[in-house]
Amino acid sequence: MSNLNIVVVGATGAVGVEFLDLLARRHFSFGSLRLLASAKSIGRKMKCGNRDFTVEALDENSFRGAHIAFFSAGGSISKKYAPIAAKCGCVVIDNSSAFRMDPNVPLVIPEINPEAALEHRGIIANPNCSTIIALVPLWPLHRHNRIRRIIAATYQAASGGGAAAMQELLDATKAYLEGGDHKPQVLPHPYAFNLFSHNAAVDPVSLYNEEELKMVRETKKIFNDPDIRISATCVRVPVLRAHCEALNVEFTSPISPSEVRNWLTDQPGVRLVDDPHRNYFPMPREASGQNDVLVGRIRQDISDPSNRSIAMFVSGDQLLKGAALNGIQIAELLVKNGLGAAAA
């Protein structure tokens, strides 16, 4: 299918830029490419490979003749325009949270539930970045020994807040080092040499923030396991790019670190970085720009006498596997299968 017409909504944002880079680097064949963004970006030139493209305005006619649209412009834009695109016969791969929990919209990580993508009705949801980074390495373990409970603590980089948050971290750090002051503009608290609870809204009943609840709800849907128990604490840290997560995982049967390492070896999307002799484990510096989720610090949870619990540490590029790469992989899966159900 070399004559696909592709649309990128939110092309000028941090994830949109990664979409363009991945289309070129992964040699994703297309006939035409339309870049759409807000009015302030109209006319801007952007590259995909060695070709220049001009950013256009997003409107209700933007999807006529399009086959695949990558959305990364926020939930309100997705809610308004994704159904319009789908009605035009375009398959939407949406990076926002707008449709993730819609029972009629598949929530897909290709390494885990590729078959779900092929049952779409015009819209496919990309999971939350923290969910993806945790579940890619947990899924192979879940297949061997069912996971009963996950306790997650995330260390989330500025990239999760987009290009503006990344720039805020740079500006705040520069000001701090020069002895000046930087008033937060994008995030609610001073960012340089600081960390704070994720800035998503806090649910007044559970007191979990929305980022944490996303991990809970999305994991249940992707694993198709409503009984799995999950608790998360999501924290924003002063790292430019790539999220980290400390995961404590309880399994149905006793499990050993050597089994975990064996089950993760050669798994798609996973790379073991687990050298206790050198105290060398996953770091955002090394995960940045990488397609794989790095996994290490694999050890028995000594607080569980049943030997059914494992502690581990993971790091993954939020802009790549946590967002754009997962979307591109979904598109590649669709192309391989003739775009799936809605196109049939």
Q: Which residues have a catalytic role annotated?
A: 129, 243
Three-state secondary-structure class, residue 3: coil
Cα 22 to chain centroid, rounded: 15
Please state, in angstroms and rounded to a whole number, the distance separating the CA atoms of residues 136 and 291: 12
| Euclidean distance between the first and the last CA atom of the chain, given in angstroms as a whole number | 15
- Residue 209's beta-bridge partner residues? 202
Residue at 20: amino acid letter: L
HSE-CB at 320 with a 13 A cutoff on CA atoms is: 19
CA distances from 250 to 253, 273, 314 (A): 9, 21, 16
DSSP codes, 270-304: EEE--BTTTTB---HHHHTT-SSEEEEEEEE-TT-
Q: Which residues contact 106 (CB under 8 A, 6 or more apart)?
A: 113, 116, 117, 119, 120, 124, 125
Nearest to 133 by CA among 115, 159, 94: 159
Beta carbons within 8 Å of 86's beta carbon, 6+ residues apart? 92, 121, 122, 123, 342
User: What HEC string does 79-144 produce?
Assistant: HHHHHHHHHCCCEEEECCCCCCCCCCCCECCCCCCHHHHCCCCCEEECCCHHHHHHHHHHHHHHHH
Give the three-state DSSP class for 252: coil
